[in-house]
Structure 1
Amino acid sequence: MTSPDTDTQVLFVGYNAAYLRAIDGRVPSGSVVVIEEPDIIRKRKLQDAPDGFDCLSRIAPASYQQSTEALDTAVELAAARPVSAVVPGLEYAVPATAALAAKLGLPGATEPAAQALRDKVRLREVAGAGGVRNPRWREVHGPEDIMAFAGGGPVVVKPANRQASVGVQLLDSVDAASAALAWERTSTASEYEQVPDRALKWRFLAEERLRGPEFSVEALVRRGEIIFENVTAKTVIDGPYPVELGHLLPAPLDQDTQAAFGTAMRALIAALGFQTGILHAEWILTEAGPTLVECAGRCPGDYLIDLNDLAYDTKIRVTLIDLLAGRPVTLPRSARRTSAIRFLAAAPGTVTAISGVDTAEALPGVESVEVDVEVGQEVRPWASSWDRAGHVIATGPDAAATRQRVLDADAAIRITTG
């Protein structure tokens, strides 16, 4: 962090333990305040969370999801101690973060850009108007709309303003029964710990089913200009739920394809009117070129920030705070190595044994192994990112070597279910 001011504080909207762990010891003691929904504090048992981080002074309860209550809380916090930056901790916090930054006169995404980033219907409208390649799409309000849009053919049905692949459905063909089932699964998708108990408004859309390899672009942006960007190759599972199985970065791309992603990303930033912060845009590389799937205005999940830090020797979470505080930052233009993650899978059922973790950890290039299930726990089929059983991360000198290393580590681990 560049010359941190110990007399100021950083506001996070949304509690993100991974982010706090990454900056703990790198920002002044007690310099971070997290604004979180009261219901989420209760559900996630966050009352004592500040005890686990030197940087975290308190968690301030206030509503921010589809609510403006957090604005008043932020004004009170700023009156007590000047705020140097406002950081989005979670997906649902992006609009409130932009509004707070604007209210306090700090760098941020801008409120119109944040609203588009949190609503895929609005994102499609804005991106399309700005010349960004989009799939054919329409907002839907029930199974009849899905059938009318699909015309019997393949289609994607998804919530417009949720996160983590929750409720996303891939349909190879559509009839009355499949449309009704897709609508039910999409419209009733829930995230108990991630949202407050009060009623929230959800929107839904249907999109053309695109074919081609999937990628994401992670970019740091200052005053509308990209100052760091990386293209990641993505692997998703087969079947109706497009949950990520793995990531590899930097993606091994030829010069023309790399340039095409850069052009598409800059067109998207211009269309959004995005100013300062971080973007994580997902694309499918079709025959016509990169086509936008969605874009988020916060640090991506799936350990993508950790993978970027490993590949580029960066500390992106710390850098983002500097960026949002208006301080100068220096970032590399090229990676020093490649990095990859593979998410662990297990057959549905009750976990009876876990083995091979020590073997995986001892393999060349393996950086970390985490198993998120334990013996006796029930494993469900993957329907969203929350259903995965853990992950392995590896690095290597090139894409081929790194891909093999992460696959070898994955193969070494056995999660047995009965």
Structure 2
Amino acid sequence: MVRPINQEVGMTAPGTDAQVLFVGYNAAYLRAIDGRVPSGSVVVIEEPDIIRKRNLRDAPTGFDCLERIVPARYQQSAEALDTAVELAAVRPVAAVVPGLEYAVPATAALAAKLGLPGATEPAAQALRDKVRLREVAGAGGVRNPRWREVHGPEDILAFAGDGPVVVKPANRQASVGVQLLDSVDAETAARAWARTSTAAEYEQVPDRELTWRFLAEERLRGPEYSVEALVRRGEIIFENVTAKTVIEGPYPVELGHLLPAPLDRDAQEAFGTAIRALVTAIGFRTGILHAEWILTDAGPTLVECAGRCPGDYLIDLIDLAYDTRIRVDLIDLLADRPVTLPRSPRRTSAIRFLAAAPGTVTEVAGVDTAQALPGVHAAEVDVEAGQEVRPWASSWDRAGHVIATGPDAAATRQRVLDADAAIRITTG
């Protein structure tokens, strides 16, 4: 049973027509909660430039739950604070939810301003800046790679020597600008700095000048995992470990995910210990975390952590595996309402992202065949004839995805691979 949003605990009396504020427009989130929350109960705050770039003025007509989108600056700006106070003066606010990665600091600040549960502002700042995250996580005993903030190619070269290194922005998203370098010389460092420092996301950020930071890190070896956790007042109330597959080469874009990860008891406990140490280290209070790790010989080592619902359809995979409604539960959590979550999965789930040879798409075939295979829940292609396919350099370059479930990890992995193989994207 879905708990109604208008029963806010501690802020307004039951029956009050409270609203939920989302910072950042997330169509997938709205689609998932539409029909499960009251009509017109959601208001989205979005950057004016992004509303224009993404043609969002008419977006509320596509969702029963969405009352309107309010323009206000929130990326590296405090303007949205005043906007939220004005909205709360007209209609009580039940919860403030981060819709996007760049909205995490503003969401925490708004929740604090309105006296609602949230990440806390210091935690949100650490989650949005990998330099700060390295500082506080390391001080709290969380295992980190060797790292250094960099300001140019000379810093990259000085840090790396001639060894393997990771160069990346400290406060971007979706693997944008991230590079894995096998060896470093002056020319390699210059190229890496140029690409990392000029990484762009036209539709995801406003046109005004923003501040970006960069760092170089020791390149770790080992399988990659993520931990998704719901946290209430600093205590983890739900957690899942996901096994990740990343493409070979200089750009570590995710190729697929499988959850829950097939781990032995010792590895499972190691990830549990690591995520609890991270929660304590950054002072995270209430919300959702998506922490990425590499399992080295020494144990889980932190790659990065986000304070919002993960992308790559991971929430959909969790819902399929655990029979949950995580997006609705997160709203309840941030409204300080009780939530009941399972301790173990019912099945396994997996996603595989579709690739195609670089070039112009001439044909897409096999989608219906893939969709009809056992256990397949989704088979979607995001490119069409005449569209250009680029080599993968970030998550935005992938051509689509397939999702499948099964009784165990081996069966689910095979089902998603079979669905991937059934789809043909021809380029020329």
TM range (shorter): over 0.9
Tell me the equivalent position of 2:268: 258
Listed one character per residue, the Cα deviations across residues 313-362 of structure 1 (whole Å, up to 9, x for unaligned) are 00000000000000000000000000000000000000000111111011
Q: Does 1:84 align with 2:94?
A: yes
1:191-202 superposed matches below 5 A: 191-202=201-212
What letter is aligned with 1:253? L
1:116-195 superposed matches below 5 A: 116-195=126-205
Tell me the equivalent position of 1:40: 50
Q: Does 1:97 align with 2:107?
A: yes
Tell me the equivalent position of 2:333: 323
Q: How many residues of Structure 1 are paired with residues of Structure 2 in the alignment?
A: 418
Listed one character per residue, the Cα deviations across residues 190-245 of structure 1 (whole Å, up to 9, x for unaligned) are 00000000000000000000000000000000000000000000000000000000
Q: Runs of 4+ in structure 1 displaced over 3 angstroms?
A: none
Q: TM-score, with normalisation over the residues of structure 1?
A: 1.00
Q: Does 1:360 align with 2:370?
A: yes
1:12-411 superposed matches below 5 A: 12-411=22-421
Tell me the distance in 2 between the aligned counterparts of 1:209 and 1:412. Answer: 35
Root mean square deviation, CA, Å:
0.5
1:41 Cα offset (Å): 0.1
The answer to whether the Cα contact below 8 Å between 2:4 and 2:38 also exists between their aligned partners in 1 is no
Tell me the distance in 2 between the aligned counterparts of 1:313 and 1:237. Answer: 30
Tell me the equivalent position of 1:2: 3
Equivalent residue of 2:202, what SS?
coil
Tell me the distance in 2 between the aligned counterparts of 1:387 and 1:398. Answer: 30
Listed one character per residue, the Cα deviations across residues 352-409 of structure 1 (whole Å, up to 9, x for unaligned) are 0011111101100000011000000000000000000000000000000000000000
Tell me the distance in 2 between the aligned counterparts of 1:313 and 1:155. Answer: 40
Equivalent residue of 2:346, what SS?
coil
Tell me the distance in 2 between the aligned counterparts of 1:249 and 1:56. Answer: 31
1:4 Cα offset (Å): 2.5
What letter is aligned with 2:95? A
Equivalent residue of 2:301, what SS?
strand
Q: TM-score, with normalisation over the residues of structure 2?
A: 0.97
Q: Which runs of 5+ in 1 are unaligned?
A: none
Equivalent residue of 2:337, what SS?
coil
The answer to whether the Cα contact below 8 Å between 2:232 and 2:287 also exists between their aligned partners in 1 is yes
Tell me the equivalent position of 2:10: none
The answer to whether the Cα contact below 8 Å between 1:36 and 1:62 also exists between their aligned partners in 2 is yes
The answer to whether the Cα contact below 8 Å between 2:43 and 2:69 also exists between their aligned partners in 1 is yes
Tell me the distance in 2 between the aligned counterparts of 1:190 and 1:126. Answer: 28
User: Identity, % of aligned pairs?
Assistant: 89
Tell me the equivalent position of 2:11: none
The answer to whether the Cα contact below 8 Å between 1:169 and 1:242 also exists between their aligned partners in 2 is yes
Equivalent residue of 1:230, what SS?
strand
What letter is aligned with 1:121? V
1:3 Cα offset (Å): 3.5
The answer to whether the Cα contact below 8 Å between 1:2 and 1:328 also exists between their aligned partners in 2 is no
What letter is aligned with 1:83? V
1:138 Cα offset (Å): 0.2
